[in-house]
Amino acid sequence: MREKRKISGFQKKYLVYTLTLLFVALLFTSVGITGYMYKNQTSIITDKYAFYNEKAGISLDSLYHKTEEVTADCIVNNMVQGSLSSAGLSDVEKNSLSKYFAYMNLDDISEYCYVDNKKNVYTRSYTKLSYNTFSTSGFIDKLGDSYAKTIWFVSEDKLFGTNEKSLYIGRKVHSQNYAQKVGYLFIKMNPEFLKGLMDVDNSYSSDVATGIIDPDGYIVATSYPDSFELSKKAEDELRLAAAVEEAGPIVKNKSISGGKLFVYRQKESGFSFFTIIPDSTFYKGLNNLYKVLAIIYLVAIICAVLLSIYMSNMITRPIRVLNQAMEEFNGDDFGHIIELNTNTELDNIGKAYNELLDKIKSLLEEVKAQQKELRHGELNMLISQINPHFIYNTLDTIYMLARINKEETTMKMIQALSKYLRLSLSKGSEIVTLEDELENVKSYMQIQQIRNENLFTYSVGCDVDPKKTYILKLILQPIVENAIKYGFCDIYEGGKIDIKIWEESKMLVLSVYNSGKSIDEDKATLINSLKNKPILEGKTAILPNEKNGYGIYNVLTRLRLMYGEDIEFMFKPEEDGTSCIIKIPKESVRNEEG
Amino acid sequence: MKKAKKIIVKTALVFLLTMLSACGKKDVVEEKEETSQVIKIPVIFTVDPTTGKKNNYELAAAFNEAYEGKYYLDVSWVLETEEEYRQNLRRMNVTDTLPAIIYDVCTVPSFYKMMVEDERIENLTPYIESDPEWKEMIEPAVLKGCTYENGNIYLGPISTAAFTCSGMFWNEDLFRAAGIEEFPKTWSDFWKVCDKLDAKGIIPLALHTEGTGWAPMLISTASIADTDEGLAFMREVLPDTYDTKSGRKLVTNIQKLFQYTTKDAIHSDYDVAYSNFFTGTAAMIPNGYWMIDQVPEKWNDRVRFSAFPENTMVASPETFGWAIVSSYSDEIKEAAVEFLKFRTRFNKGEKENFFAKESNQTEGLYKDYMHAFESVERIVPNYQVKWNSILQEKTLGKALALTADNSISPDEFIDMMNESVIEYNKEQ
């Protein structure tokens, strides 16, 4: 069953950062777009309703002037003027005049009354209005000091008995020719008279609250959206804004509680048309924007996530391969090679990993071999150290028997072997004085001279103080052994071994010359090249069959382990033999001394 | 990593705050339109329906130039006759739509009285009295004429009566055709000239009956002022009766005048008479100085001007007085006062320029007018400022037509005039 792969690690971080960046970008974009759109939307809406309010205000102007014209026509009407003359009107003329007003060119008239300067009252035929009712209604006072201006005012209906608050249009009626008493004309308007202004354009009025307010702050007519409610605070602010003597668009885009206010004040009447744009209207247009943005952002986020996964996958897949290979590597299986073909730096990393694996494998094998050797050495050491005293006592016993039997050669050999073993076994320490080392090799050569009579002679020359110079033990013996074994393999006598020790350029030089067979050039070159190669390679090179050359390999390995890579170990074929030269840094030698 | 996150967060906050602060800015500023500092003075001037000339155009232009940036005479040019203007004036008054400055107020005494009593026009006395320079510019006769019976001045006066006088414009070619070399010096000669012209088939007079009967009434009122009694009659304000010697003479002369006029004079207004004169149909038409500017260019050399016989001219300088409507703001009224003062100065300058010229420098009608004004022996008050409005607006039009048609006798004419007095008194 295929395991469901989780998004984690580098890919997860990549995804998180991408989404964070996208979120910040979208946040800024949202803020920017919202800000811009709000500003733009606000500008468009305010301009639109400023225009609408002014348009409605101008309609209010027109409506006022219409009432002015209509009432002016009444005032200059011959019968009206005749009613003010001293002669007055006949009954027939009075009846005609009452009917005349019914034909005023003005819509939405509810009632009217004209009172001449002789207390005659002219109304609709079915309307009963006495002069006494008229004179006590207080309506005359509503006209103030104005000579004959058209006055709009809102009042309770005390003329026609309905007591409802209505809009009235009133005007004093003067004689054109003589300074006579004045007459009065009042027209009561239906509510539709002003309502019509608010339906100037239905496309405007559905979103905003509109109305008409009189100079005293009484809201005469309104047209509010269903969701709108004019708060007390907003109403007070409206009254305050409209209570100015100026005319025209007196308030534009004023912030009030719940919205923006526009007021157009009609000059002559003092009535004002107002428009309130509720705050919700400004945001209404943004909702659609938010919906579109939400869709765009959703698509952008999905795309970003998919792209992020795809892009990150391109990077993380080889990383995962590397990671998996590393995780699965148990230290044994070096054959798990990574093959990457991404044409990126990751290919180099894969290649380096493979090389590293090879290197580790090589080192591991070397370490294993070294450990094996070490265990082998340690075993030998243990075996050799089983009971040195027993060996010495045995050798003493053999020596005594040889002495009793007067076997001189045996006695010499046992003495030499005893010296040799004392240095090899009894000391324990790896570092010995050059004196002991020379004593050891001399004992060995003496033993070999007894074994191989007349095979070789030897000489030892030391230009340094052997008591104060410390070196790794058993260096010279294996070389001498090698010289006897291979150098003198073809002779039976006359061989010569010269051991020389001197100092040269901060190095302690140990030279072992044998006059036997010269070493092969190839063999010498092979051994000399081992200096910069792994130790294990040396073994392979020197001990191809693991039977011969173990001593040389042992010396070289021990020297490199003790003194590092600064030592020199080389075989030099001579015309009449072979030299083996060992150079050890004097500093290392002195350190041992210390 | 944390530092980088902080930087991102701070940057985002700064950006957010910047955006929000930008959003908070008032994109729509509440501002009022800067009101102009120039004070406008609304006024209606007429455009002569016959000539198309804009009356008082030079005066308005001069004022607006002199007070540029401070005051502006906002003129509405209306194509109408003076009579139509006077009718509109009353309509505008009762509908409270008068311009700030009005004229021809006193040409109908009842209207003038109503405007004063209803405090519809401004009392200019304090302005004139407190401004010696202005007062000195006004001739005493003019100032007296503009002073109302209560002692206040409601009419902004012009400087001089020199340009307020009316006389007779006459067609020199037609006169010569009838063998007449000069305008008659006496009233008896006047009637003889009419006969001579008539005998030659030339209609002597361009008259009309509508309006206040301006043309026939100018001649007839001037004709009765050849005696002290007649002059006194014309100086009387709102006569109680017209059944006097002068009244009878007036009506008789009116009847006589219509024997020498065109047939279309009946039920027509002054524009018909004007047309008859400047088409060469009639030989004479009465009017004032102001008509000199309205004479068609090609008629300049053919038309002459003379005082009425007996060196008589008709003039009431107060008819040229202009009033300020009280219902305007103090600011506009002060500007209007400044305009009236400017008008007085303008008029004074006109007079000085006019009379500073030597007679040989003045040509045509202006030379005739200068000669007539300098030779005038009798100034007869304009009947329009003396007689009741019912007589002027209702009775005269009707009575003149009937007289011209010989439908009524002089006595009946006088009865009609006296009835107007009764009716007028009732209205008071």
Q: What is the CATH number of the domain that holds A193?
A: 3.30.450.20
Q: Do B426 and A176 touch (CB under 8 A)?
A: no
Please give, rounded to a whole number of angstroms, the shortest distance from the CA of B410 to a CA of chain A.
Answer: 28
Residue of A nearest to B32 (CA): A250
Residue of B nearest to A261 (CA): B30
> Could you tell me if B4 lies within 8 Å of chain A, comparing CB atoms?
no
Q: How far from A424 is each of A387, A441, A461, A554, CA to CA, in Å?
A: 13, 10, 22, 15
**Could you give the count of Cα atoms lying within 13 Å of A545 in the half-sphere of its Cβ?**
2
> Could you tell me if B21 lies within 8 Å of chain A, comparing CB atoms?
no
- Find tokens 């007539």 and name the residue: B372
Residue of A nearest to B14 (CA): A28
pLDDT at residue A404, rounded to an integer? 86
**Could you give the count of Cα atoms lying within 13 Å of A285 in the half-sphere of its Cβ?**
19
pLDDT at B302 over 80: yes
Task: Write out the two tokens for B413.
Answer: 């004419």
Flag whether A587 is in a domain: yes
Q: For residue range A548-573, list pLDDT tens digits in order.
A: 677 888 888 888 888 887 888 899 99
Q: How far from A254 is each of A29, A212, A261, CA to CA, in Å?
A: 30, 17, 5
Q: Do A24 and B95 touch (CB under 8 A)?
A: no
Residue of B nearest to A23 (CA): B12
What is the rounded distance in angstroms from the CA atom of residue B386 to the CA atom of residue B270?
20
Residue of B nearest to A82 (CA): B427
Helix (H, G, I), strand (E, B) or coil at A175: coil
Which phi and psi angles does A147 have, rounded to 5°?
-70, -55
What is the rounded distance in angstroms from the CA atom of residue B362 to the CA atom of residue B355?
9
> Could you tell me if A178 lies within 8 Å of chain B, comparing CB atoms?
yes
What CATH homologous superfamily does B166-315+365-427 map to? Periplasmic binding protein-like II (3.40.190.10)
Q: Do B23 and A175 touch (CB under 8 A)?
A: no
pLDDT at residue A593, rounded to an integer? 44
Indicate the number of domains in chain A. Answer: 2
Q: Do A252 and B96 touch (CB under 8 A)?
A: no
Nearest to B377 by CA among B228, B257, B252: B228
What is the rounded distance in angstroms from the CA atom of residue A67 to the CA atom of residue A73?
10
> Could you tell me if B422 lies within 8 Å of chain A, comparing CB atoms?
no
Q: Do A28 and B15 touch (CB under 8 A)?
A: yes
Q: Do A179 and B114 touch (CB under 8 A)?
A: yes
Q: Which has more confidence, B8 or B47?
A: B47
pLDDT at residue A212, rounded to an integer? 94
What is the rounded distance in angstroms from the CA atom of residue A346 to the CA atom of residue A339?
10
Q: Which residues are paired to A256 by β-bridges?
A: A259
Task: Write out the two tokens for B238.
Answer: 């709102």
Q: Do B118 and A146 touch (CB under 8 A)?
A: no
Task: Write out the two tokens for A481.
Answer: 């052994």
- Chain B, 320 to 359: residues with Cβ < 8 Å from chain A are 327
Q: Which of A32, A39, A147 is nearest residue B96 as measured by Cβ atoms?
A: A147
Residue B67 contacts by C-beta under 8 Å, 6 or more apart in sequence?
A: B338, B342
- Note down the domain range covering A464: 430-435+442-593
What is the rounded distance in angstroms from the CA atom of residue A64 to the CA atom of residue A71?
11
Q: Do B30 and A254 touch (CB under 8 A)?
A: yes
Comparing A370-384, B5-19, B282-296, the range with the smallest average pLDDT is B5-19
Residue of B nearest to A69 (CA): B95
Task: Write out the two tokens for B380.
Answer: 């007869």
A276 burial via Cβ count (<10 Å: 0-12, 13-18, 19+):
buried
Q: Do B427 and A68 touch (CB under 8 A)?
A: no
- In eight-state DSSP terms, residue B205 is E
Q: Do B28 and A43 touch (CB under 8 A)?
A: yes
Flag whether A471 is in a domain: yes
Q: Which of A147, A179, A253 is nearest residue B30 as measured by Cβ atoms?
A: A253
pLDDT at residue B338, rounded to an integer? 96
What is the rounded distance in angstroms from the CA atom of residue B190 to the CA atom of residue B178?
13
Q: Which has more confidence, A378 or B73?
A: B73
CB-CB contact of B243 with B418 (8 Å): yes
pLDDT at residue B37, rounded to an integer? 84
Flag whether A360 is in a domain: no
Please give, rounded to a whole number of angstroms, the shortest distance from the CA of B159 to a CA of chain A.
Answer: 29
CA–centroid distance for A151 within its chain: 72
CB-CB contact of A443 with A476 (8 Å): no
CB atoms within 10 A of CB B125: 15
CB-CB contact of B268 with B407 (8 Å): no
DSSP codes joined into one string, A294-321: HHHHHHHHHHHHHHHHHHHHHHHHHHHH
Flag whether A122 is in a domain: yes
Q: Do B28 and A28 touch (CB under 8 A)?
A: no
> Could you tell me if A29 lies within 8 Å of chain B, comparing CB atoms?
no
At which of A266, A296, A326 does a domain end? A296
pLDDT at residue A6, rounded to an integer? 61
Q: Do B23 and A148 touch (CB under 8 A)?
A: no
Flag whether A417 is in a domain: no
> Could you tell me if A27 lies within 8 Å of chain B, comparing CB atoms?
yes
Flag whether A359 is in a domain: no
What is the rounded distance in angstroms from the CA atom of residue A479 to the CA atom of residue A486?
10
CATH number of the domain that residue A457 is part of: 3.30.565.10
**Selected residue of A174, A180, A245, A277 to mutate for chain B interface (largest B Cβ count, 10 A):** A174
Residue spans of beta strands (DSSP E) within B150-296: 166-171, 203-205, 282-288
Task: Write out the two tokens for A218.
Answer: 């009484």
- Find tokens 């439908």 and name the residue: B407
594 residues of chain A, pLDDT tens digit each? 444 556 667 777 888 888 888 888 888 888 888 888 778 888 888 888 898 899 899 999 999 999 999 999 999 999 999 999 888 899 999 999 999 998 999 999 999 999 999 999 999 888 889 999 999 999 999 999 889 999 999 999 988 888 889 999 999 999 988 888 999 999 999 988 988 887 655 666 678 899 999 999 999 988 888 888 889 999 999 999 888 888 899 999 899 988 999 999 999 999 999 999 988 887 777 777 788 888 988 898 888 888 888 887 777 777 878 787 777 777 777 777 888 788 888 888 888 888 888 888 888 888 888 777 777 766 666 555 556 666 777 888 888 888 888 888 888 888 888 888 777 765 567 788 899 889 889 988 988 888 888 899 999 999 998 988 888 888 898 899 888 888 888 888 889 999 999 998 889 999 999 998 888 888 888 888 877 677 666 666 666 555 567 788 888 888 888 888 788 889 999 888 999 999 998 887 754 443
pLDDT at residue A412, rounded to an integer? 84
Interhelix angle A535-542/A521-528, nearest 10 degrees? 170
Nearest to B426 by CA among A85, A93, A79: A85
Q: Do A178 and B32 touch (CB under 8 A)?
A: no
> Could you tell me if B94 lies within 8 Å of chain A, comparing CB atoms?
yes
pTM: 0.63
What is the rounded distance in angstroms from the CA atom of residue B304 to the CA atom of residue B291?
12
pLDDT at residue A18, rounded to an integer? 83
Q: Which of B16, B91, B113 is nearest residue A31 as measured by Cβ atoms?
A: B16
pLDDT at residue A405, rounded to an integer? 86
Chain A CB contacts of B23 under 8 Å are 34-35, 38-39
Q: What is the mean pLDDT of residues B350-373?
A: 80
Q: Which amino acid is at B322?
A: W
Please give, rounded to a whole number of angstroms, the shortest distance from the CA of A10 to a CA of chain B.
Answer: 16
Q: Do B110 and A173 touch (CB under 8 A)?
A: no
Q: What is the mean pLDDT of residues B282-311?
A: 92
Task: Write out the two tokens for A477.
Answer: 């013996």
Flag whether A413 is in a domain: no
CB-CB contact of A214 with A271 (8 Å): yes
pLDDT at residue A545, rounded to an integer? 56
Q: How many A×B Cβ pairs under 8 Å?
A: 93
Residue of B nearest to A147 (CA): B96
**Selected residue of B96, B114, B424 to mutate for chain A interface (largest A Cβ count, 10 A):** B96
Nearest to A86 by CA among A45, A63, A117: A117
Give the DSSP H/E element, type plus range, for residue A461.
strand A456-462
Q: What is the mean pLDDT of residues B203-220?
A: 95
Flag whether A331 is in a domain: no
Q: What is the mean pLDDT of residues B286-296?
A: 90
> Could you tell me if A404 lies within 8 Å of chain B, comparing CB atoms?
no
Assigned fold of B39-163+318-356: D-Maltodextrin-Binding Protein; domain 2 (3.40.190)
Helix (H, G, I), strand (E, B) or coil at B22: helix
B83-107 core/surface letters (b: 16 or more CB in 10 A; e: else):
bebbbbbbebbbbbbbbbbbbbbbb
Task: Write out the two tokens for B243.
Answer: 């059944």
Task: Write out the two tokens for B257.
Answer: 């005048």
Q: Which of A43, A46, A72 is nearest residue B95 as measured by Cβ atoms?
A: A72
Residue of A nearest to B426 (CA): A86
> Where along chain B do the CATH 3.40.190.10 domains lie?
39-163+318-356, 166-315+365-427
A313-334 core/surface letters (b: 16 or more CB in 10 A; e: else):
eeebebbbbbeebeeeeeeeee
